[in-house]
Amino acid sequence: MQRLLRHMIAAVLAVGLAAVAAPVPAHANAQATQESGDRFKRVAYFIQWGVYGRNYHVKDMDTSGAAAKLTHVNYAFGFVNPEGDCYSADPWADWQRPVPAEQSVDGVADAEGQALSGNLNQLRKLKARHPGLKALISLGGWTGSKYFSDAVLTPAGRTRLASSCIDLWLKGNLPGAPAGAGAGVFDGIDLDWEWPGSSGNDGNVIRPEDKRNFTLFVTELRRQMNGFDRRSELTAFLPAAAAKIDAGFEVRDVFRQLTFATVQGYDLHGPWETVTGHNGNLFNDRRDPNPVRYSVDQTVRDYLTRGAPARKIVVGVPAYGQGWTGVTGGRNGLYGTATGPAPGTFAAGNEDYKILVNKPGKRYRDLLTGSVWLYDGNEFWSYDDPASLTQKAAYIRLKGLGGSMMWSIDQDDTKASLTTALYRVLR
């Protein structure tokens, strides 16, 4: 069955790209789909700090055509403080920064002293422009998960954190702003605790009790969200590795409380390792020399066997690549040895799709593993392009999964090529 699925998806890609590549209007068809309801979720993360060095704004999701092809925007990130409360890591970007007309979704600049400015006001405008598009506040992330374990350790702590997050992000009671100024911006909460019960960023608090406490917190948060608005959505970002799943998540119980969950389909390998590999391959590779073989399909199967319903599994896909330098050996650089991470625009070993697509070098594709890579004899980059995302989207349809999630929308190109590839299949 697994071999048949591989070949079916490879055939979809091999013979169907011409049809898939047919032009789709940036707004009209997608708008109708958003308003009438969507079979598949099409989620993308928008990063709060993108308005700075990346110069990527909420408006750019609209002008690229991406917003019309999404069902959800996850706003990254809100943090949890040592006292066990939700807080904004950057109020200036979130609701204080006056957005000039040229960066505004509707072309109207923020007025001095208005109740809500910044990214949150732009999200409100984006939602008004695209009825049916939902925005979720994502809590945690790699650098914002340090105190989750402390915050949910006791029943009182879980109650406090849930109440704090609802008050700040859903009720919109933003510090320094009029009461309720941010109400209605967010339609729910996305939990991105990386990771309960296992290591994430250096310094994160980790306990064996995290696994049970995560379930208890999700249950309490859902209870309080129901009291606020039963239509509010609760989602979570969950890890790829089976060891991390088992250390931190009571899968069946957690999924009962969630609207859906996005599962990690990237960072399966990267330049923290000395041997090159795939960032987000769809299927396992028989030639993979690693003792543990990761793939999107392996992760999906791991969640299914632990009791997750297929329709609630939303597959994460990357809009960036992982890169190594000094690469020798391997198969066209794949599984070759490297001297370190390749230079990147914002971080070593990491590069946006919009930059990689124009990077010189020879590209290689493996239809049976659903992977593409770039190798110039020195640098090796593993990333996804519209063709590989078409293959992943076909997999999502054939498996009856819930949809796709992209990290992160600013890394797509100005034509929203990756977003469009997913939309063409998952609508």
CATH topology of domain 2-319+386-425: TIM Barrel (3.20.20)
Q: What's the pLDDT score for residue 264?
A: 98
Task: Give the residues of the chain that fall short of pLDDT 70.
Answer: 1-37
> One of 35, 112, 194, 379 is an active-site residue; which one?
194
- 194 catalytic per annotation: yes
Q: What's the pLDDT score for residue 16?
A: 42
Cα–Cα distance for residue pair 395/397, rounded to 1 Å? 5
* Single pTM value for the model: 0.94
Q: What's the pLDDT score for residue 30?
A: 43
Q: What's the pLDDT score for residue 54?
A: 98
Whether the CA torsion 243, 247, 251, 257 is positive or negative: it is negative
Q: What's the pLDDT score for residue 3?
A: 65
